Structure 1
Amino acid sequence: MTTRRSGLREQKKQATRVALREAALRLALTHGPDRVRVDDIAEAAGVSPRTYNNYFSSREEAIVAAVAAERESRVVAAVAAGPALGRLADILTEAILEQYTEPRDHDGLLLITTSPALRDTFLDTTAAIERPLAAEIGRRLGGTGTSAAARVLAASVAAAVRVALQQWLQPPAAPLAAGGLVVPSGSLPGLLRGALAVLAPALDAAEEEARRPSRRPDPRAAGEAPEPG
């Protein structure tokens, strides 16, 4: 019974989160992100402002969440679905490209380019892929997501994605269209591929290390008596 109640509670929390982020994006598209208040979002979602604060720390976070929702789980699922003997660097690159260059909400992504605060918040969402990605990288390397190698590689992937998005959304001397709209610079797929390519040698080395057969140390090297045969 306790497990069932916990499950229902989590479902309710998830439903509230979805309602809040969808209301935030809907209001921002209608009125502009700068004209949306937290109270407006809460009212549109049918909850109190206090409840809103349990889920999001700002209106920007809620608006961006509607565009980047569950992206980390989709990235990890794509990596997990990759061929077992495939090259990890290639699998990661294709998973990232699929989730970051085929946005579910084109209007929402366009809205993000109009606001510096939304752009900054959107860039911060890349950190969300780090922990779940570490678990999947660890699994593919035959270990766990808590290993130093898996954590460092996952953090590096998240950093590479952020750098590519930053180059795309916040290029030096970014050209501005009417209304302060940032004109993205360069090809996002190309920028992502380039940033992730830097990590390929480290990913290849980690895979090579994982494939090496483990060797039991020779007890004679440590001055120990060999076990009786």
Structure 2
Amino acid sequence: MPEPVKGLRERKRLETHRALATTAVRLVAERGLDQVTVEDISAAAGVSPRTFFNYFASKEDAVVIAHADTAERSQRIIDKFLATPKEVSTPRAFVDALKEDFTQIDENREEWLGRMKAIHENPTLHSRAVAMNHDTVEPTIEAIARRVGVDSKVDLYPTLLLSTLGGAVNAALILWHRQDGRVSALDLLDEAVEMLLAGLPEPGGRAR
């Protein structure tokens, strides 16, 4: 599903957000969160602190929120998921809808390594990242329920599937970060999901 065409003003807004976000990540990765100010980020990005606050409420948000259109991106993932043909399994359809985001992580390796390093080292950033994803949980559960034809209020499957696949996403990103991005994040995600779909067999085929 192609992205909607954006006007000049909207493109400028997204570009400025990206410039501030990538600058914030770079400075925090280099100096540490406590040693970076909003003024530092603004100066390095070539804008005023007033402009910074048009985009972010805090330096923490600048590190965590990679894109200005986060809500729209989340909705596009749901739309792609729901548009996937029914012959594709629901777990695979969900992961396929995430592939564009994972491809962008691979393409922006240094930025995402810096962001994950900062989040790992600063509990406040970790809490902010978790809170940022909170609003996507219920719409995604409802999308899964809609695709499989169940009521999410009485059927465990939609919530369980989202929790399980969320674990696969986190596992892939953690291993990607531990390997310093030398392997493809998208390949790790595919591997994680294949392991889940196979029943999470133990390495080497060990049985209980």
Band of TM-score, shorter chain: 0.5 to 0.7
Check 1:123–1:164 CA distance in 2 against 1; reply closer, same or farther (3 A cut): farther
Percent of paired sites with the same residue: 32
SS of equivalent residue, structure 2 residue 63: helix
Check 1:106–1:38 CA distance in 2 against 1; reply closer, same or farther (3 A cut): same
Corresponding residue number in structure 1 for 2:9: 9
Q: Distance in 2 between matches of 1:97 and 1:141?
A: 21
Contact 1:79/1:91 (<8 A) preserved: yes
Question: Which amino acid in the other structure matches residue 59 of structure 1?
Answer: K
Corresponding residue number in structure 2 for 1:121: 128
Corresponding residue number in structure 2 for 1:21: 21
Contact 2:25/2:118 (<8 A) preserved: no
SS of equivalent residue, structure 2 residue 65: helix
> Which has the bigger relative contact order, CA under 8 A and spacing at least 6?
2
Check 1:158–1:72 CA distance in 2 against 1; reply closer, same or farther (3 A cut): farther
Question: Which amino acid in the other structure matches residue 132 of structure 2?
Answer: T
Corresponding residue number in structure 1 for 2:52: 52
Question: Which amino acid in the other structure matches residue 124 of structure 1?
Answer: A
Corresponding residue number in structure 2 for 1:32: 32
Q: Distance in 1 between matches of 2:24 and 2:165?
A: 24
**Higher helix fraction (1 or 2):** 2
**Deviation for aligned residue 1:24:** 0.5
Matched, 1:160 2:160: no
Rg comparison, structure with higher value: 1
Q: Distance in 1 between matches of 2:164 and 2:115?
A: 19
**Deviation for aligned residue 1:31:** 1.1
**Deviation for aligned residue 1:129:** 3.5
1:147-166 superposed Cα distances (whole Å, 9 cap, x missing partner): x96xxx9x95897379849x
Q: Distance in 2 between matches of 1:158 and 1:43?
A: 44
SS of equivalent residue, structure 1 residue 54: helix
1:89-143 superposed Cα distances (whole Å, 9 cap, x missing partner): 442255458857994423321231111111111212323545875896698579x
Q: Distance in 2 between matches of 1:40 and 1:86?
A: 48
Corresponding residue number in structure 2 for 1:226: none
Matched, 1:65 2:72: no
Contact 1:67/1:109 (<8 A) preserved: no
Match of 1:88 among 87, 90, 101: 90
Corresponding residue number in structure 2 for 1:210: none
**Equivalences for residues 87-106 of structure 1 within 5 A:** 87-93=89-95, 95=97, 103-104=105-106, 105-106=112-113
Extract unaligned runs of 5+ from structure 2. Answer: 1-5, 107-111, 172-187, 198-208
Q: Distance in 1 between matches of 2:102 and 2:131?
A: 14
Q: How many residues align?
A: 161
Q: Distance in 1 between matches of 2:15 and 2:27?
A: 18
**Equivalences for residues 129-168 of structure 1 within 5 A:** 129-130=136-137, 133=140, 156=159, 160=163, 164=167
Corresponding residue number in structure 1 for 2:178: none
Q: Distance in 2 between matches of 1:21 and 1:132?
A: 26
Check 1:67–1:30 CA distance in 2 against 1; reply closer, same or farther (3 A cut): farther
SS of equivalent residue, structure 1 residue 118: helix
Check 1:78–1:28 CA distance in 2 against 1; reply closer, same or farther (3 A cut): farther
Question: Which amino acid in the other structure matches residue 26 of structure 1?
Answer: R
Extract unaligned runs of 5+ from structure 1. Answer: 1-5, 143-147, 169-186, 195-229
